[in-house]
Amino acid sequence: MATFKTTFLFYYSILLLSSIFSTQTTSSPDHQPLKTYIIQLHPQAMSLSPSLFKSKLHFHLSFLQKIINDPPSSRLLYSYRSAMDGFAAQLSDSELHSMQKLHHVIAIRPDRVHKLHTTYSYKFLGLSPTIKTGAWVKSGFGRGSIIGVLDTGVWPESPSFNDQGMPPVPTKWRGLCQPGDSFNTSNCNKKLIGARFFSKGHRVASVTPTENEVSEYLSARDSHGHGTHTASTAAGSAVPMASVLGNGAGEARGMAPGSHIAIYKVCWFSGCYSSDILAAMDEAIRDGVDILSLSLGGFPIPLYDDSIAIGSFRAMEHKISVICAAGNNGPIANSVANVAPWVATVGASTLDRRFPAVVRMGDGRFLYGESMYPGNLHPGSEKVLEVVYLNGGDRGSNYCFKDSLPRDKVAGKMVVCDRGVNGRAEKGQVVKESGGAAMILANTEINMEEDSIDAHVLPATLIGFTESVHLKNYINSTKRPTARIIFGGTEIGKTRAPSVAQFSSRGPSFMDPVIPKPDIIAPGVNILAAWPQNLGPSGLPEDSRRVNFTVMSGTSMSCPHVGGLAALIRAAHPKWSPAAIKSALMTTADTTDHYGKPIMDGNKPAGILAMGSGHVNPERAIQPGLIYDISPNDYIVHLCGIGYTKSQIFTITHRNVSCHDMMKKNRGFSLNYPSISVVFGSGMNSKMIKRRVTNVGDPNSVYTIKVVPPEGVKVRVRPRRLTFSRLNQSLSYRVWLILRKSSGSKRGKFGQGQLTWMNLKDDKIKIRSPILVTRSSNKNKNHM
């Protein structure tokens, strides 16, 4: 645990520094620099003097009026009233000190920058419009559900947002289509029912784009592509003959093609600011969304400092499912972000679709690589070239930085570029500008064999770390090394999948060590989805090619997959809580790949801290049989149980509680989470936890237990049989976990197992919970 704390303090200090350096530097009248802060107020503060203020906005302005000489409205960025009670404003250091002293101010946080973390994936997940008992048909393709996407905006003209065949806009919808730069109300329709943009936090950061940046639209229109890609992944309409320059051809569909989309643009060229994100969540709650998809985040931070965690708690209270990306900082342990137990945290997995672009070296050996460059359609792309790898000096030539490649050394040649630091496609542009004819992008040790690919601007391929070692050995042992790239188009079904993506962030979480995160994994590598017409498929400003689709990789792509699947479940079961929807997704997830073998994480079977409960299986999740439900009050008891203070819990939940009283009323409390995790501190050798399942299947159902215990742990479950006589009936069970004295397991080691409730009438219905046991040398009282 000491190592966890040290790493956490390192991460957190970096985050605090980034918060400080990212804020704007305009000055107050006394020449003190201004920074953006989010000021959280007591939720009942205004009710104590309602006659004094016309609205929440006027109430919030009154706080600024007390401490600044400028007009209050000149400093106010946002007034929050749904995701949180409070406001965002610009303050000097002295004004911040004065604000902290004001009555009803309960927390002040600096504005932080968060980073942005298909034709085939729906088929890979088993979704089909022709199966009458399948998830698409049962849910009406997500009909009636509204998915709110917080991202870089949308390109509304994309065919993925065509509203042909869409049902009318739901009567509950209260949002709007906000006009702006190259965007007006006519850009919305029955598919894209709302669009807003939030730029005040970004604008006052005083960061100017570089000359190579794509021009921004001051509207909901997308100038980066990320938001268009994620929105279409979640709920894009069917588009026949979709491809990227001829690769990956097929019919493109989102996970919930019958659902509606609402766009909230919060991300700009400098990132996504927490003040803008919170303002978007504030509006989305009032607009009436059912699902919120957030493909953004950063390093893990405490929940009481996390605007997304605070806003999502309010959203959950309004029955909104919040789906978040786990982050792209894997395979480093403890890197998982967005870990609040009331959100679904999604890691990334691979598909069994590949785009081979094999390197044939001059000595006749082959190196496997992949690329979206359409070399198979351009025969001249496969000619033999001299290979160069410039790894000397201090110009970063091995990474192919801009202006690092001397033209006389690379002109007409195939250039090897190490992966890392600058963008993959950007390296190809540098090679092209320097006169190079082709590129081999070589994974370094940290990337291993991970194969995120791009639609490069010149003939290029990406090879794994093992292949890169062979290539460099060949270059170093040959006077004039040569090679050619052989492009193979698209292949499906020839490789094992899914597996965990190397970049997908890993647990355990510092913020809540007894809730395993991520919760689940979903497709996130080489995902093909919609793309704006103002960008080339590489996303580079210099790329003049134009396409309707491109490929991207990241947990940003995994997140909208689950957001769309949550919309399907919501449409099929409109009365279910966010916890019930997440339970359905987690307890029906797969732990084996399409070959029936364990899902892999690199060269080893994937564990809970890499894949959570497993890989999403929508066909099973739509009818799970049993669900684990959780009320908002249960989360508060859980926060008390893991040591959060009264003031910290109040900041997160706006609930004024006594943890002493709550724990006294809930002795032996276990959060009713779909996965099971126990931390054994020093001197502990046994632990009992409770769970409660609700029958959402056949009214008369019987389930029996099957347990695979973690190594060195005895697991006992009582009762071993659950007999239900009606729909929505809830039954409880207990689990005892006992460390075996002769296990020989070292302290601090993780043990993994699983607990599954098996339906006696239907062997397809299995409700599985992974079990994670952590042995720690620390004396603690961590419990479920």
Residues annotated as catalytic (active site), given as ranges: 151, 226, 556
CA distance 245 to 660: 62
> Both tokens of residue 89?
């404003």
Tokens of 139: 């849910």
- Taking the C-alpha atoms of residue 133 and residue 623, their distance in angstroms, rounded to an integer, is 10
The contacts of residue 507 (CB under 8 Å, 6+ apart) are: 333, 334, 336, 516, 517, 518, 608, 609, 610
Q: How many helices (H) and strands (E) does the chain have?
A: 19, 40
User: What tokens were used for 130?
Assistant: 């022709």
d(CA 526, CA 159): 20
Asked whether the beta carbons of 351 and 124 are under 8 A apart, the reply is: yes
**726 burial class (0-12, 13-18, 19+ CB within 10 angstroms)?**
exposed
How far apart (Å, rounded) are the C-alpha atoms in residues 257 and 164? Answer: 11
Instruction: Give backbone dihedrals phi and psi of 358, rounded to 5 degrees, phi first.
Output: -85, 140
Let me know if 591 is exposed, middle or buried by CB neighbors in 10 A (0-12, 13-18, 19+). middle
Contact 670, 720 (CB under 8 A): no
Q: What one-character-per-residue DSSP string does 635-697 give?
A: HHHHHHHTT--HHHHHHHH-----HHHHHHHTTT-----SSEEEEE-TT--EEEEEEEEEE-S
CB 201 within 8 A of CB 88: yes
454, 431 in Cβ contact below 8 A?
Answer: no
Q: Tell me the C-alpha distance between 323 and 347, whole Å.
A: 11
Neighbours of 149 (CB within 10 A): 33
Tokens, residue 125:
């997940």
Contact 753, 707 (CB under 8 A): yes
Count other C-beta atoms under 10 Å from residue 65's C-beta. Answer: 14
Say if strands 76-80 and 247-252 run parallel, antiparallel, or are unpaired: unpaired
Q: 765 burial class (0-12, 13-18, 19+ CB within 10 angstroms)?
A: buried
DSSP symbols for 104-159 = TEEEEEE--EEEE---SHHHHTT--TT-TTSHHHHTGGGTT-EEEEEES-B-TTSG
Element (H, E) at 367: strand 366-367
* Separation CA 675–CA 230 (nearest Å): 27
Q: Cis ω on the peptide bond leading into residue 159 (within 30° of 0)?
A: no
